[in-house]
Amino acid sequence: MDKPFHRLAKGSSYLLLGNVTSSIVGAIFWIILAKIIDAQHIGTAMVVVALMTTAISFTGSGIQQALAKYIAEYNTNKDYANAKRVIRLGLIVSLSISSIVAVILLLLADSIGLAYSSSEGIALLIALASITYIPSNTIVASLSSIYTAYHKTQHVLLLTAVFQVSRLAVTLVLALYGLNALAIIAGFSIASIISAALGYIIMLRINNHKEHIDANSKDDKISAKSILIFSGFNYVAAGMRTLRNQIGVLTIGTFNIETSAFYGISSLIAGVIGNVMLSIAGVLLPTASEELAKGNKDGVKKLFSVALRIALILNGFLVLILLIEPNYILGLISRSYTEASEALRILVVAYFINSTGMIISSLLNAINKAREIAVRESIASLVIIALTPFLVSFMGIEGAAYALLIGSLVNLILSYILIRRYGFMLPFNVYKASLSIGVAAIVGYITLTIFNKTLIALALALLVHASFAFAIKAITKKEAVEIIGVIASIIGKK
């Protein structure tokens, strides 16, 4: 196995384990809360979390991409001192911007709360989350990018586990005392603060590793201006990307706060299908940046093609599970949540398309096309933001899902145009991977319609996807063995 692919596979595996851990514990988190807290308070918490998540994307995501890219490039050239300077600059920028945004939201909490007049106490929750969750979670996100740049993604997995377990424990204790929505927000905040403190300690140990001593450094100083410009475009791109994913919850909440809980839970479930894509996208940026710094553009083209194709195949299994019978998944939470079953189907497709665009964005960042990413993301996001209120007023929660789907398609088309412009063509095998998912989905849906047996339909769809993917060589046996080998080596070290 070539080294770039091995680094990508290994790093992605840890990030995927982190995302799976987050999804499993997160599912347990919301299922338990849905049984002890009514949908009104769940909806209130969902709106606050959506608002905070959007704010964090505008305060931290830009510098995260810069950290992953520039640290990897400096380390490749053995310029360890400048790598440390990038880390210092990144953390200062993250904390400064997040603190400013936190104060602004704190001052605007009462005004924002007026838009959700049906939810009592939401202004207090916004104020609390602003000054606690935004700064701490922004730092956690930046630290995760530092670990990824050093190919130490096992620490990202650790922080994810610490956050999820802490959030669950704190929220449950407070919820049992009857704090309802406040328990959820406090759980997010306290868990994030714990993760930030632990993450910073780990970062200091990595940064002071004997392999990264200043004696090997060059005299050149980092270009703070270039880093900040690169980050600025990514702040816009990531912020708009997150806003379009959260605008449904924020908009629906102004109509009915309880219904926002149904849509919010469905959105969280649908977001699970992007785990494989996002895990690979997170490691593709530093890995591709390293190879480009070595002048290995052809290697990057091959890496991108293989990564996208395998991501589509693996992600297809999750898509099929959620697409064929969403009622079964939502029913595990509560029968009332099955109201969002059709919205969940639409959201699954939308998130699948979105996550595919994330891999393309990672490649474009590696070749210094942050400006083009920002323009593309802004156009797609504005389409969603404009459509959401209009469609929600006519179609309810399905309208928000359709708006996200339409904007996601716009984003994918623009992404495809961009990568073609810079010489990164998609081989036919990539389309084979998508075809395999489509064929399996059709077989599963027909089976469900005829026999009305969910488990049989799911099992057959998954079997068809795996068999068809190998039959048309969307993935080869050698690639499958290599991936299994990387995962086995990771497990063997535990």
What are the tokens at 85? Answer: 């300077």
What are the tokens at 236? Answer: 């816009």
With a pLDDT cut of 70, the percent of the chain lying above it is: 82
Local confidence band at 1 (pLDDT 50, 70, 90 cut-offs): very low
On the question of pLDDT at 362 being above 60, the answer is yes
The sign of the dihedral angle between the CA atoms of 345, 346, 352, 355 is negative
Backbone angles phi, psi at 422, to 5 degrees: -100, 20
> What global pTM score does this model have?
0.71
Dist. CA 404–CA 409, nearest whole Å: 9
- Per-residue pLDDT at 256: 78
On the question of pLDDT at 2 being above 60, the answer is no
Dist. CA 97–CA 59, nearest whole Å: 6
Local confidence band at 187 (pLDDT 50, 70, 90 cut-offs): very high
On the question of pLDDT at 201 being above 60, the answer is yes
**pLDDT tens digits, 276-292:** 666 676 667 777 777 77
The more confident residue out of 348 and 20 is: 348
Burial class (CB in 10 A: 0-12, 13-18, 19+), 263: buried
On the question of pLDDT at 28 being above 60, the answer is yes
Report, as an integer, the average pLDDT of 465-472.
85
Ranked by mean pLDDT, the top range of 228-242, 320-334, 367-381, 456-470 is 456-470
State the chain's mean pLDDT as an integer.
79
Q: Average the pLDDT over each of 38-47, 203-212, 326-335, 337-346 and give the range with the smallest value.
A: 203-212
Dist. CA 446–CA 457, nearest whole Å: 8
* Inter-residue long-range contacts of 238-241, CB under 8 Å, 24+ positions, other chains counted: 238/57, 238/58, 238/61, 238/62, 238/64, 238/65, 238/377, 239/54, 239/57, 239/58, 239/61, 239/62, 240/374, 240/377, 240/378, 240/380, 240/381, 240/382, 241/57, 241/354, 241/377, 241/381
Give CA torsion, residues 29, 34, 35, 38, to 10 deg. 140
On the question of pLDDT at 390 being above 80, the answer is yes
**pLDDT tens digits, 58-82:** 665 667 777 877 787 787 777 788 8
What are the tokens at 274? Answer: 């992007």
- Per-residue pLDDT at 241: 75
DSSP state of 394: H
What are the tokens at 463? Answer: 């079997």
- Per-residue pLDDT at 131: 92
Local confidence band at 221 (pLDDT 50, 70, 90 cut-offs): low
Residue 218 DSSP SS3: coil
What are the tokens at 130? Answer: 């602003």
User: If you search the block for the tokens 């716009």, which residue do you land on?
Assistant: 410
Dist. CA 246–CA 50, nearest whole Å: 6
Local confidence band at 257 (pLDDT 50, 70, 90 cut-offs): confident
DSSP state of 256: -
Report, as an integer, the average pLDDT of 377-389.
89
| DSSP-H helix ranges across 208-274 | 224-255, 257-271
Q: Average the pLDDT over each of 308-322, 396-410, 472-486 and give the range with the smallest value.
A: 472-486
- Per-residue pLDDT at 210: 42
Domain boundaries, the chain: 3-493
**pLDDT tens digits, 262-271:** 888 888 788 7
* Cβ-based neighbours of 488, under 8 Å, separated by 6 or more: none
With a pLDDT cut of 90, the percent of the chain lying above it is: 13
Task: Identify whether the C-beta of residue 265 lies closer than 8 Å to the C-beta of residue 344.
Answer: no
- Per-residue pLDDT at 103: 92
Local confidence band at 119 (pLDDT 50, 70, 90 cut-offs): low
Give CA torsion, residues 207, 212, 213, 218, to 10 deg. -110
- Whole-angstrom CA distances from 364 to 42, 276, 367, 479 are 38, 19, 5, 25
- Per-residue pLDDT at 494: 46
Q: Average the pLDDT over each of 13-22, 170-179, 323-332 and give the range with the smallest value.
A: 13-22
